[in-house]
Amino acid sequence: MFEYLLGCQEVADSPPLRTLLWRHQRLNGFESALAEVQRDYVRNHRDNLNALLGLQAAIERMFSHMNRHLFTRQWEFQQDRARTVTGFLARFDAIFTLNQDQLLEHHYRPELEAPPGRLAWHGMQLPGASPQAGQVANVAGSQAGPRWLVRDVGQIQLDHRSQPLYKLHGSSGWADHIHPQVMILGDNKAQDIGLFPVLSHYFESFETALAAGDARLMIIGYGFRDPHINEVLVRSVSEHGLKFFVIDPQGADIARAVSPTANALIPGRPTALEDAFVEGCRGASRRNLRDILGADEVEYNKVIRFFEE
């Protein structure tokens, strides 16, 4: 994303934005750069408006291009009906994602698979979000599109026959009656979630799901760098007995890798997240989903075992 933004006209034509991006490259990338622009704008609207609008426009175009590419990608990795991506995801009672692209909305149709031991879903739902009036879907069955509107929280009603997809940080293409963009980026995600009632509702739903007795969570591709998410995980493990499985190239070592003392000569005391891994982690896979759902029988059985214990 950093390299993409460097090539956007809004950034290429603005030496201050280019300098800003490079300065944040080794910190938290474009998100911390955006956070600085947002803070500057709050302090001085007039002098920082153009920088904020320019960077936001570049980011919105980035997601637009990303979505168009993802829509053309092959969704399933292989033809074995016993190991489809759709069948794997349909096993979950709910999906919570931090991604803001529209990959799942476009490709994922849980009604095409019957999860083992349960009735098939009638489809996927985005609680509280619906396409803008007059909008035509990209293809039949797709829930992706250029503009979705978010309703008031009081109007959210779950269809328990459909699998919910909660986009905890919002989504590209989402808007509400106040904000032209319902999407959380930057370094102040926990605070900014409060600006959007629907995202506050999503986060509360996430906390409630993890606090349920005997809850199980499969974590796929999350870097454990969002403190507000980590706090929920740690609390759910220590107070409610949450058990989780991690799919990530670093496997069960990822909590140690993101520790502030990871590279220290003398290791510090384990963090709360590391303690949560010791107590709550029930396995991990360092393979990607293409391999897990493909020919790697050992990894596949290890992942599926988490559903069956």
- From first to last of its 309 residues, what are the pLDDT tens digits of the chain? 888 898 888 888 889 899 989 998 877 788 888 888 888 887 888 888 888 888 888 888 888 888 989 888 888 887 777 789 999 999 999 999 999 999 999 999 999 988 888 889 999 999 998 887 655 555 667 888 778 888 888 888 899 999 999 999 999 888 888 777 888 887 778 888 888 899 999 999 999 999 998 899 999 999 998 999 999 999 999 999 999 999 999 999 999 999 887 776 677 789 999 999 999 999 999 999 999 999 889 999 999 999 987
Six token digits for residue 255? 């909590």
Q: What are the residue ranges spanned by the domains of the chain?
A: 2-72, 81-308
Sign of CA dihedral 291, 296, 300, 302: negative
CA–CA gap between residue 88 and residue 221 (Å, rounded):
15
Could you tell me which residues come within 8 angstroms of residue 194 by beta carbon, excluding any fewer than 6 positions away?
200
Q: For residue 147, give both structure tokens.
A: 């503009």
Task: Tally Cβ neighbours within 10 Å of residue 289.
Answer: 18
User: What is the model's pLDDT at position 286?
Assistant: 96
DSSP tag of 126: -
The reported pLDDT for the residue numbered 133 is 66
First-to-last C-alpha distance (Å) of the chain: 39
Separation between Cα atoms, residue 144 and residue 138, nearest integer Å: 7
Picking from 302, 287, 294, the residue whose alpha carbon sits closest to that of residue 221 is 287
- The H or E element spanning position 236 is helix 227-240
Q: What was the pLDDT predicted at 257?
A: 92
Pick from 183, 105, 110: nearest CA to 145: 105
Longest C-alpha distance within the chain, in Å? 61
In this prediction, residue 139 carries a pLDDT of 64
DSSP code for 155: G
78 CB-near residues (< 8 Å, 6+ apart): 293, 294
Among 230, 66, 80, residue whose Cα is nearest residue 144? 66
Q: What is the pLDDT of residue 81?
A: 74
* Three-class secondary structure of residue 71 per DSSP: helix
Strands (E), 77-172: 95-97, 124-125, 129-131, 148-150, 163-167
**pLDDT of amino acid 147:** 81
**One-letter amino acid for residue 100 of the chain:** Q
| pTM for this entry | 0.88
Eight-state DSSP code of residue 7: T
